[in-house]
Amino acid sequence: MLSSLGTQRMLWGYHSDKGRLLQIDGKKINDLTQWFQCLRSILFCPEQIDIIRGAPEVRRKFLDRARFVAEPTYLTIARNYIQVLKQKRELLKKDNLQDAELLPWNLQLKNYGSQIISSRLDILEELKEPFQQMHQQLVGTEQVSLAIQGVGSAPLSTAVQRFEKEMQNLLSDEVRRRQVLVGPHRDDLEIMLNGMPARKFASQGQIRSIIVALKLAELEAAKLRGEKPLFLMDDLSSELDLQRRKQLVQMLAERDGQVWITTTQPNFLSDLPRGRIARFYVEDGIVTPEQK
């Protein structure tokens, strides 16, 4: 791949015994943050319709992934929070636990959790307007919006203070119930359609359009940051009706960055400018480039 430092050779593989293998210019890479500093991507696949009707965890993962693409070092913050959260949950299983024993863990959760809250609010602000714009271009008149529900729902200026206060207020309840009752790991991303929760009221077709608009919003937010991540779209032909499919292809054709699309019906891509695309056919695991 090309970067501001010249050409880099990147290798991603998987070994049955050793697991994932990452290399940059022949050097083994153990840190995903370092890898994604060089190569960032936004993925859309059919399974992501769960972002709308799935559990809150799915929507948190979407928001965290969007933040990670914008700033790969966010991965370290999220991992640290999860590690401390796991340790606190183990401590809560202890019999005759005293409130004061949780304070060192709460101090760490406050540190990492506050950074997560701040980072999620930052990426949410980046996505809000592009999400509305992309959805309007794709669909038309329907209105969409995004908001965080939970400890991270307060304005950034007060969200961290609210988090700390709730940890203090619920300390005894956590010991009694043996559960971690407060933190950004319990937040949710509320996706609204025409003023109503999309997870309750959106049709299957509306859900598909919302998810595509969310992913295009990530791409637009990256453009506004001056970045051009790869856009990977799996199985285009299964997700939208013909009219919206054509509109999506047109929107992607106007992008400067690299877009990879897989489909079982390549005729949907006929409107793409042929001078700017390369086609590959996959059959029985064999990839064949289209003859010019």
- Identify the CATH number of the domain in which residue 54 sits: 1.20.1050.90
Q: Report the C-alpha gap between 49 and 32 in whole angstroms.
A: 26
Give pLDDT, residue 3. Answer: 47
In this prediction, residues 94-122 reach a mean pLDDT of: 93
Least confident range of 33-37, 108-112, 145-149: 33-37
In this prediction, residues 94-106 reach a mean pLDDT of: 93
Considering the domain architecture, whether residues 3 and 105 belong to the same structural domain is answered as no
Considering the domain architecture, whether residues 136 and 231 belong to the same structural domain is answered as yes
Residue 172 has φ and ψ, to the nearest 5°, of: -65, -35
Give pLDDT, residue 271. Answer: 67
Considering the domain architecture, whether residues 148 and 243 belong to the same structural domain is answered as yes
In this prediction, residues 96-112 reach a mean pLDDT of: 93
Considering the domain architecture, whether residues 52 and 155 belong to the same structural domain is answered as yes
Considering the domain architecture, whether residues 31 and 57 belong to the same structural domain is answered as no
Q: Which domain holds residue 181?
A: 40-289
Considering the domain architecture, whether residues 4 and 93 belong to the same structural domain is answered as no
pLDDT in tens, 218-228: 999 999 999 88
Give pLDDT, residue 238. Answer: 63
In this prediction, residues 129-154 reach a mean pLDDT of: 91
Query: Residues of the chain with pLDDT > 70: what percent?
Result: 94
CA-derived radius of gyration, the chain: 22
Strand 10-15 vs strand 19-24: parallel, antiparallel, or unpaired?
antiparallel
pLDDT in tens, 188-214: 999 999 999 999 999 988 998 999 999
Considering the domain architecture, whether residues 275 and 175 belong to the same structural domain is answered as yes
Structure tokens at 284: 């029985």
Residue 223 has φ and ψ, to the nearest 5°, of: -60, -40
Considering the domain architecture, whether residues 3 and 79 belong to the same structural domain is answered as no
Q: Report the C-alpha gap between 65 and 73 in whole angstroms.
A: 12
Spacing of C-alpha 148 from chain mean position: 14
pLDDT in tens, 208-266: 899 999 999 999 999 999 988 889 988 776 667 778 888 888 888 888 788 888 888 77
Q: Which of the pair, 137 or 235, is modelled with greater confidence?
A: 137
Q: How many domains, the chain?
A: 2
Q: Which of the pair, 152 or 169, is modelled with greater confidence?
A: 169
Segment holding 287, helix H or strand E: strand 286-289
pLDDT in tens, 16-34: 777 788 888 888 877 777 7
Q: In whole numbers, what is the pLDDT of the chain averaged over residues?
A: 87
Give pLDDT, residue 2. Answer: 43
Considering the domain architecture, whether residues 26 and 111 belong to the same structural domain is answered as no
Return the SS3 of 197.
Answer: strand
- Is the per-residue pLDDT at 4 higher than 60? no
Considering the domain architecture, whether residues 19 and 74 belong to the same structural domain is answered as no
Give pLDDT, residue 6. Answer: 61
Considering the domain architecture, whether residues 2 and 47 belong to the same structural domain is answered as no
Give pLDDT, residue 156. Answer: 74
Give pLDDT, residue 80. Answer: 96
The structure's pTM equals 0.86
Query: Residues of the chain with pLDDT > 90: what percent?
Result: 53
Considering the domain architecture, whether residues 232 and 160 belong to the same structural domain is answered as yes
Q: Report the C-alpha gap between 184 and 163 in whole angstroms.
A: 9
